[in-house]
Structure 1
Amino acid sequence: MDQDTPLSRPQPGRRRALLALAAAAAAGAWPVRAQQTGFPSKTVRIVVGFPPGGSSDSAARILAEKLALEWGSPVIVENKPGAGSTIATAQVASSPPDGHTLLLIAPGTHAVSAALFSNLSYDPVRSFTSITQVGAGTYFLLVNADTPYKTLRDLLDDAKARPGAVTYASTGNGSGSHLVAESLGSAAGVKFLHTPYNGAAPATLALLGGQVQFAVSDISAIGHLQSGKLRALAVTSNRRSPLVPSVPTIAEAGVPQAEYVLSVGLVGPAGVPGPVVDQLHAAVSKVLALPDVRQRMAALGFDAEPSSPQAYGQTIASDVDKFGKLVRQVGLKTS
């Protein structure tokens, strides 16, 4: 046993320093351990700014189901549609930054809404903590199979010959389909006539009925495409879709400036601690690697593709800059 000698006993000043150092170390280490092992400590909410039943909502529900199993803790989806998804976005931006309230966003819609709506209570970049991309897909540029348009060039040539006479259907003002069509027109130097509809189903019906010349649609129209009633002139993503591998990308069709990756991902309010972000990212990445999840996401038109929080943050910032400029350039309005 060591002897308690003056040399071995800590002196009063040294003892106080050691105690202060130990307290500081404990204060710094304990929150990290709690964040690493104590999350989630309550129900996690995934807020969706779109109505139930759509591809974004369905992707959120797949995540919620699998994350609940992964964590052994409830994960619920809350739909807060309206005002270009800004209602849901504002709610999450003002939530406690503890990782228990997340927002499923489509970066393009997020960017456009920020440019379209004035006096928002949040900043589209600084008010959020990026977590990860969840899935990446594409829009389809569709025409009725009875039209003479066989290629995108055919459509653009007609639009140039008849400025403002070629009409298109979108799923609403400020929607991704609206954005893609206006981006295409801007890049090709043509003017289309926009006809907004309240969702994908009525927009597709308008195209089937010959009320518009083309439409920009997500996977919801794939049945009509596969039946031969509709024809795809291009996909907007940066690679061909396995659903229609013979259809060129919009870049291959000659208009690379109109490329648009239809993606969804997760963000939280600004200030979510780094260890919680890491846990969320790891859990979502694990879930997205499951074969049944990849299959279910593919059925929604998404490739299950997680990204790093940093990369996803860059995607959001890039879209906010790019599509904000487009909104101002072409004068997009909410009504």
Structure 2
Amino acid sequence: MTEQRLRIGLVGAGVIAHAHLPNLLRLGDVVVFSEVGAEELVATHGGEVVGSLDELLARVDVVDVVVPTYAHAEVVRAALAAGKDVISEKPLARTDADADDLVRRAHEAGRQLYPAHVVRYFPEYVRLKAAVEAGQLGELAVLRFVRSGGFPTRSAWFADPELSGGIIMDQMIHDLDIARWIAGDVVRVSAVHVRKGTVDHPVEAAHVLLTHASGAISHVAGIWGPAHLPFVTEFSATGTLGTLSHDSRAERNYTAELLDEAAVGGDLPELDPTEDPYFLEIREYLGAFRGGAVPRVSAEDGATAVRIVNAALRSVETGQPVDLEPAPAAGTHEGATA
């Protein structure tokens, strides 16, 4: 007997929706709601546009939320209240309180909620995780992660730190989550941040230092630069038995990154469609909704990533490190203290 296709609702139509929708369509029938951009998104990839969130919730089995960061909590709450399992684009929410509330509501409703920390599905980070778990690096000592690309000027809310959390929450949360995934619970966060340039030519960068409960240290750096800056990731992890490193520029054989008026960098990495991490992520989540294996990222992981980011933002504001309690158990969440 052929398994019935899932009915999936996609809420939002921004840049990241173009990574989600084609993969959702491979796995189910999709309806889309967004106040802006839904018609263009569906015209490009397929699916059906609906006129309201209520109509979407009435027609689907599961919901994928890709609205701007500041709206995540409101839409996820509505989906959970309607009895739907939910995928939420990262971050799970803008504030610790909202992230904790979403985790609690999912548990109370008996629904599944997964934050889209897609970097856990990129092969180079999967390889790092496997090497660490196999003991190939020995006892971890120092980890370094870098992520850079063009400043996201396509929507004004990215430049408003109250709405987006800036580069640390929107971009660096990926590597902050990976650092915890690889090296374990984080007990202290220290950060510095700079924003330069003009509205038309902004540059933003930050450095975050994590101290793990194990004693390992992770340094995470992020850059939002000129529009022509290519999307680049790199990492190195060193332990008592060796080092594992990755640089996406080596894969693309870059020799220069100089201004070309015709060139535009990117918000997303270049992907091999046969190994698209967005597809691997969505397939794993939808499989879990159907009773399959538990995914490699949980709602609690998403809430913890938000806590680490907001601790970094407090460190930037105060100039002091922020101490964190160990990651809470499922269904319980503790705050950070400066």
In the superposition, the TM-score normalised over structure 2's length comes to 0.40
Q: Higher relative contact order at CA 8 Å, sep ≥6: structure 1 or structure 2?
A: 1
Asked which structure has the greater CA Rg, the reply is 1
**Structure having the larger proportion of residues in helix:** 1
